[in-house]
Structure 1
């Protein structure tokens, strides 16, 4: 059963204005969380970074944790939207699967700062908020599962449901590693080199699941 999106109270009733102000907060908060972390950042600093007063800030949220929740929610929504745009054209072929994996890595590169902030600070979310944010991570994995499953359904791969799920998790971890270990990896490889090597290794591991090679094990 999916967790419901947490309701963030706002005293302002104009939904367009609420969305605009919260986007300003999210942008300012991400920059501050990168520098100082969630606990050392004050709501007054977030308000200043967003371009308005502390009083105005509290018209759109009730607590600093609300801002962290909005940050995490926004990051996952951005990743999901970008992946959906590019995965929509997939035709269930191994070639399209490679394209999907490569694109996922590029999306992870473009939001690596935000993803790092989210993983570092999500632990500060309350018990009622954290499960919803973690579920969005599973949703992202599920998108890659669907791409792999489509290749299975089209007859180019022979994999069980459990194998599809684990491969999707592997792809997510490899994509996130570009940001998580950037202190060393990005000094040794360009993004294109990293993507090429990782996708080659992923597909080398998939060879045992190509229909002809897999016929002997099913």
Structure 2
């Protein structure tokens, strides 16, 4: 995974820096989503934190620093979630399912952060944008490798693995981007199971699909999502 560039601080205690920056990230993410990046001031963020503006400037020097802190935190969590996924011990289907579900759990835990990055990434300077994008490509690399391994093992269909890797990531991100709608008719666990099923059935060779899906689900079939009641106007 790409290593985030550091943000300077005048505080020497790394544990205190980590604690304060975590507080800043949580507060700023909430305010940026509510008011927008440009309409939120450093003073607004400091007022919502348990310390004053002068103290805040000991940990960051600008709003761009704070937005980059959000990205750094998200990058680190994604890296941690995917770093131990292996294909040889579990087989390609189980490995991909495990990686996808771990990634979904990160998306669920950091829904606001992911929404914020989609909305405000272009606010960051080009070098910091590049750091974030390199980290995202590292996530794509993980899924691409798992899919390519399944193709080599003659379990997955012959597809473009990098394209399907992007598909996998977006299937997970849907929980953050469309949560306002999805939460009305499904739980996170149901969402994750359904999206896993879509991803794996798209990839697994048709002649192997039923047996492998039952096997990877521990001998039972995936539960189906309840059909949502239509709440809009008649078509």
Greater Cα shift, 191-200 or 147-156: 147-156
* Structure 1 gap ranges (5+): 213-218
Query: 1:143/1:3 Cα in 2 relative to 1: closer, same or farther (>3 Å)?
Result: closer
Alignment of 1:14 onto 2:36: no
Post-superposition offset of 1:27? 2.0
Normalising by the residue count of structure 1, what TM-score does the alignment of the two structures yield? 0.81
Query: Of residues 142, 164, 168 in structure 2, which corresponds to 1:167?
Result: 164
Query: 1:206/1:132 Cα in 2 relative to 1: closer, same or farther (>3 Å)?
Result: same
Please name the residue that 1:148 is paired with. Answer: 147
SS in 1 for 2:127: coil
Alpha-carbon displacement from aligned partner over 1:13-60 (angstroms, at most 9, x marks no partner): 333332232222112212222322211211122223331111111122
Alignment of 1:176 onto 2:157: no
- The count of aligned residue pairs is 208
Alignment of 1:186 onto 2:183: yes
Query: 1:70/1:211 Cα in 2 relative to 1: closer, same or farther (>3 Å)?
Result: same
Query: 1:7/1:95 Cα in 2 relative to 1: closer, same or farther (>3 Å)?
Result: closer
* Structure 2 gap ranges (5+): 210-235
Post-superposition offset of 1:168? 0.8
Alignment of 1:53 onto 2:52: yes
Q: How far, CA to CA, are the matches of 1:52 and 1:88 in structure 2?
A: 43
Q: How far, CA to CA, are the matches of 1:156 and 1:48 in structure 2?
A: 55
Greater Cα shift, 68-77 or 42-51: 42-51
Q: How far, CA to CA, are the matches of 2:189 and 2:18 in structure 1?
A: 35
Equivalences for residues 124-135 of structure 1 within 5 A: 124-135=123-134
